[in-house]
Chain A
């Protein structure tokens, strides 16, 4: 066989191989497009359903609140008890749906932040006061260490407080069967660091990888917290990052507690 013929045969083989690879790549590209379309349709449907359900729940919330607050004059004690319990349940439902809607809006970049100067330390202390009853119900105590200095920052106070400060402290309460929750706030050069540490259920390496993802439930988290939506930490991360900050978690593993840290730029 001459060298020229060998080269020609080689080129023919190479072209045939290229065509096979191309056809596989074409199929992969087609499937990718289909998957992207399916994802977009699912997102829209989820958003629509969440919005509709939130509407119905809000109406129910108003109804039960009216009964509890005596808008229909005095009601039998059993009715008031039922209404109080139902109101708490509906409020949890609204909070769950809001989590899902917020996560969806954050993912699409549809969230607007009302940024202004506020005192992060005051926001932390307020959140601690608000969550103290929930901690006391589980016989948990807070160990609070807030360093000297100004903790003024620029940001959306409501979202940072709701989705970051409250979320982390609330999680620590939910995932700690007994003991102490340590809350720290300290200032470093140009930043301040807020952390919540517990001695609760901890985070396995497997769960750590999914912690801040959408719907990122830990493998056993629903056993400890049946109302977990799996969106709380995803939302916290998005909000912190929108403020130029970082959020991360540390844990030595399952059953060994966890520490969540948020770093934000100081004003």
Chain B
């Protein structure tokens, strides 16, 4: 599984969170290990290595601040992408 799908995953999660908490979604994502954020273009790139862990970290960052509801928002944001992935490629936090 290429990192492209994880990039898309992270992008969709942050964009969906931004609809709820505004620019805070991006500034919190910037703190997450394994993600490279461009705050001017609002774009995210997952660093190679273990991209699934970077996505897990992102989900955990939001959950730490905003609780279980934010975790559900992350899952719903990528439900379409998850459907195209094999079970083992789906990040643990989104299974």
Contact = CB atoms under 8 A, between A and B. Distances in A.
B67 A19 contact: yes
A29 B20 contact: yes
A42 interface: no
A29 B19 CA distance: 6
A22 B19 contact: no
Interface residues of B, number: 10
Interface of A: 15, 18-19, 22-23, 25-26, 28-29, 32-33
Q: Specify which of A15, A22, A33 lies most central, judged by the most chain B CB atoms within 10 Å of its CB.
A: A22
Contacts of B68: 19
Contacts of A23: 69
Query: Secondary structure at chain B's binding surface: helix, strand, loop or mixed?
Result: helix
A26 B65 CA distance: 14
Interface string B62-73: 000111111001
B85 interface: no
B20 to A, nearest CB: 5
A32 B16 CA distance: 13
Contacts of A22: 20-21, 65-67, 69-70
Nearest to B73: A26
B42 to A, nearest CB: 17
Contact of A15 (B21, B65, B73): B65
